[in-house]
Amino acid sequence: MNTINLSNNIDLEFIRQVTEESGENPSLCYQCGNCTAGCPYTEYFDYPVSQIMRLLQTGQKDTILDSKAIWLCATCETCTTRCPCEIDVAGIMDTLRIIARRENRVSEKDIKSFYDSFLNSMKQFGRIYEMGILISYKLKSGHFLGDAELGPKVINHGKISFLPKKIKGADKVAEIFNRFQQKERKNV
């Protein structure tokens, strides 16, 4: 776990951007620590989520966007549920990840590869196609043999189908993705 350094210049534009994009007000946070106390992944974070909030309040853009924490967050929303100020902390973590992606500052490349594979599957089929995600992730990450021993088990239990199944209305799901991607391009 790192000690936070608040001595860098305050990036007011970054605070404004996160506030606007998340629709949340980080200045309401009074550092009670409830979010961190409930976060199931805090032991793996370089900065616990309450420290991310403090870094955000003080506009420490570089520290936040280069952190592992924003990528290791599993969006479980425990922090949001526990916050006495009703801040959607998980939503802020999501926004920080989106900004980090946009600025091409990805500290955990494998996690981004998994997200990309997952989202591509959703866009294409309207649901996840496990085998497609698996192949795409392996190709992107280069971890060809990782967890290979699990393959036969999940296949034998019928958990993975070899062919994709499209849901009815998959084109509508694709439209949602296209709208978001157009909006993202305008934000660059």
Question: How many alpha carbons fall within 13 Å on the CB side of residue 23?
Answer: 4
Q: Which is nearer to ligand SF4, 92 or 122 (CB)?
A: 92
The CA–CA distances, whole Å, from 3 to 47, 48, 52, 54, 59 equal 8, 10, 11, 12, 16
Min dist CB 49 to ligand SF4, Å, is 4
* Cβ closest to ligand SF4, residue 18 vs residue 87: 87
3-state SS assignment for residue 105:
coil
Nearest CB to ligand SF4, comparing residues 111 and 134 = 111
Task: Give kind and range of the element (H or E) at residue 155.
Answer: helix 150-156
Return d(Cα 88, Cα 94) in angstroms, integer: 10
Measured from the CB of residue 39, what is the shortest distance to ligand SF4 in angstroms?
Answer: 3
Work out the number of other CB atoms within 10 angstroms of the CB of residue 133: 19
Closer residue to ligand SF4 in complex, CB, 65/129: 65
Q: Which one, 2 or 187, has the nearer CB to ligand SF4? A: 2
Return left, alpha or beta for 31; rule: phi > 0 is left, psi -120 to 50 is alpha, else beta.
left
**Which residues, in sequence order, are CB contacts of 126 under 8 Å at separation 6+?**
166, 167, 168, 169, 170, 172, 173, 174
Q: Which residues of this chain interact with ligand SF4, rule CB under 6 A?
A: 29-35, 38-39, 41, 49-50, 53, 73-79, 82-85, 87, 89-90, 93
Please state the closest distance from residue 161 (CB atom) to ligand SF4, in A.
30
**In the complex, what is the shortest distance from the CB of residue 115 to ligand SF4, in angstroms, rounded to a whole number?**
14
Query: Which is closer to ligand SF4, CB of 82 or CB of 105?
Result: 82
CB atoms near residue 43 (< 10 Å)? 8
For the bound state, the minimum distance from the C-beta of residue 88 to ligand SF4, rounded and expressed in Å, comes to 10
Q: How far is the CB of 42 from ligand SF4 (least distance, A)?
A: 6
